[in-house]
Amino acid sequence: MTGWIVAPDAGRVEEVSCGHLDQAPDEEPPAPVRGCEECLAAGGTWVHLRKCLICGHVGCCDSSPGRHAWAHADTTDHALARSFEKGEAWAWCYQDSLFLLPEPT
Ligand SMILES: [Zn+2]
Ligand SMILES: [Zn+2]
Ligand SMILES: [Zn+2]
């Protein structure tokens, strides 16, 4: 079970919440490929990878030329994506612009 919470230091004073957290399934969906699906198809390159927490789609970050993770969130309404970089455990809500951290166990 992978739960996520809004990062305490999300940068805002008032209490913020993300209404999309329950979109994510209890079991994180497996990634079909270890790269940005759209970039691989088009022969492009990326900087960092983000993985959709709702369906497992892997796309490239906003620093990449394609920004395919954002495009995926925008076209599917899948708001939540986590970093797909080794050793990085954080996620991002594209609709609330909120930084998320794994729920403490
Ligand atoms: Zn949200
Ligand atoms: Zn891409
Ligand atoms: Zn998705």
CA 8 to mean position of chain CA atoms: 18
Q: What range does the domain containing 69 cover?
A: 4-11+24-102
Is 19 part of any domain? no
Cβ contact 5:15 at 8 Å: no
Q: Which residue has the higher pLDDT, 6 or 16?
A: 6
Q: How confident is the model at residue 7 (pLDDT cuts 50, 70, 90)?
A: confident
Is 16 part of any domain? no
Is 41 part of any domain? yes
pLDDT in the model for residue 2: 66
Q: Which helix (H) or strand (E) holds 42?
A: helix 37-42
CA–centroid distance, 44 to ligand 1, in Å, is 29
Is 82 part of any domain? yes
CATH of the domain at 38: 3.30.40.10
Backbone angles phi, psi at 40, to 5 degrees: -60, -40
Is 83 part of any domain? yes
Is 45 part of any domain? yes
CA–centroid distance, 59 to ligand 3, in Å, is 10
Query: Looking at the 3D structure of the chain, how many domains does it have?
Result: 1
CA–centroid distance, 51 to ligand 2, in Å, is 11
Is 35 part of any domain? yes
Least confident stretch, 9-23, 59-73, 89-103: 9-23
β-pairing verdict for 58-60 and 91-93: unpaired
Task: Give the number of the ligand closest to the Cα of residue 40.
Answer: 2
Q: Assess whether pLDDT exceeds 60 at residue 10.
A: no
Neighbour count for residue 32 (Cβ, 10 Å): 11
Is 18 part of any domain? no
Task: Give the number of the ligand closest to the Cα of residue 38.
Answer: 2
